[in-house]
Structure 1
């Protein structure tokens, strides 16, 4: 699990100082611009400069061909630009600090899951928030914090110390605490959850030891950790999404996932995210390798 898409972008820079400098420039230089202007600027730079150099367009095309082979070529070309542009806008937003927080504070949450979330917070019942690399999940995390939830999250540390400090500070300003992924960080997050707080988990990543559930009709190994924690600690399990709408967001809390067994609950989360992605294809991170058919074939 990781928060937002920052680590996905940072992963491309590991071991490459020039890419590191490019990412830092991409994040820092446009901050000299007014907030409304910097978002499309970073989106454009990500779509037309960084994405082609990093091979993101090929990854988007490969993923779309695998799960949506009948998608018109014109739409595929559009998504090859729009997907990294969304990632760039997300990076611009979360690195804008208080300006972004103020924007989210003016955005009302909605959806059938809100009464259950409010009741769980009032009762100090643990809450597991689940989502994916879609829209801007940190907008949803920020909205929950603004609503009064104490919400923590794991993040994937970046090998480069400068970028790691940047991402840790950025994520912490939006909502704290954030825990570095690893045994110690996971232990701290569980302790935080058991105190009656909320934790945020993104489940749309290929996990080698995960369970082969389905996503877009294809096998996608998925961690059952969110459902397992919900069952173990009697936590509310709620999908929440920060969906981009023009210059702002629609922040939606779906109905809680009923407790049953981990695989059934996690498949329900996959189905929830798939429906959201199908409605807004350009807002999901088609850049990352959610499916690995070559590994599935080797194991089958």
Structure 2
């Protein structure tokens, strides 16, 4: 048995022990415990706290220190809650769960495309309960697959893949990106994508994000420009009572020919939509991620 495999087994054992505890608890107490642990985790993750603080200062230069500190606390509480929800995604498959816990605005925008038998992108970001679409939309009858990254630990990856696919959707490995996406769209299915994270500068275009340059992927813009596939923004926000509001926007179709300029413009427009969604509820975004890099500012 290799050293890496032993490490994976130990990590997985600890992970599953923790998951078992949360999955055995009623939902609300589990979420409150997750919120508490998230708040406490700030004291053990100084680098993540610094990244969060730096990001908030960059995005909101007019805010004072008190506001920044308050947001940091709420961000980590939010991440603790989100972690628990992700461990228990299959709970939402119980009859009545969707109707009880989710309010959906703009669902007719998806229904119209479904009636036409037309595939489309469902664009979201790491906001609120971003994983909820993997269980909500399949249960509402929408054929949808989600682009996901493989987790390094294969045992943990298998667990989350099973959770995400528990309602009937499928996971598309981001490593096989465009080819799998094109195949899914050709089957008139929806493809869920997250468009708010840093990407290697070798494969990126530079966009303006919170008035600062940042790298963004051009792959999805290239596909929508080439195929004229509609792209629908959809964001989930957590309410104080641990219920959720999902806001589904109107379909966007980019009709211009595919050129470097149109790819840039498309990427920027999608980034602007994500930024607007984050500003609606900044404490529910993934600020612990290094979204801005100095190399982007030099270009």
Q: TM-score, normalised by structure 1?
A: 0.84
Hey, what does 2:63 align to over in structure 1? 71
Task: Give how far 1:129 is off.
Answer: 0.8
1:1-300 matches, cutoff 5 A? 23-49=15-41, 52-53=44-45, 55-102=47-94, 103-106=97-100, 107-111=102-106, 114-183=107-176, 186-207=178-199, 208=201, 209-246=203-240, 247-259=242-254, 260=256, 261-292=262-293, 294-297=294-297, 300=299
Question: Could you say if the C-alpha distance between residues 128 and 266 of structure 1 is closer, same or farther in structure 2, counting changes exceeding 3 Å?
Answer: same
Cα shift readout 1:258-288 (whole Å, capped 9, x = no counterpart): 3143332322221122122112111000011
Please, what is the CA RMSD of the aligned residues?
A: 2.4
Structure-2 separation of matches of 1:42 and 1:174 = 24
CA distance in 2 between partners of 1:122 and 1:239 (Å): 19
Q: Which segments of 5 or more consecutive residues in structure 1 lack a partner in the other structure?
A: 1-14
Contact 2:122 2:190 in 1 (8 A): yes
Deviation at 1:230, TM superposition (A): 2.2
Q: Which has the larger radius of gyration?
A: 2
* Corresponding pairs, count: 281
Q: CA deviation at 1:253?
A: 0.6
Structure 2's unaligned 5+ residue stretches are: 1-6, 257-261
- Following superposition, the deviation at residue 145 of structure 1 comes to 1.8
1:122-176 Cα distance to aligned partner (Å, 9 max, x none):
1221110111110112223433222211110121111212211122112222552
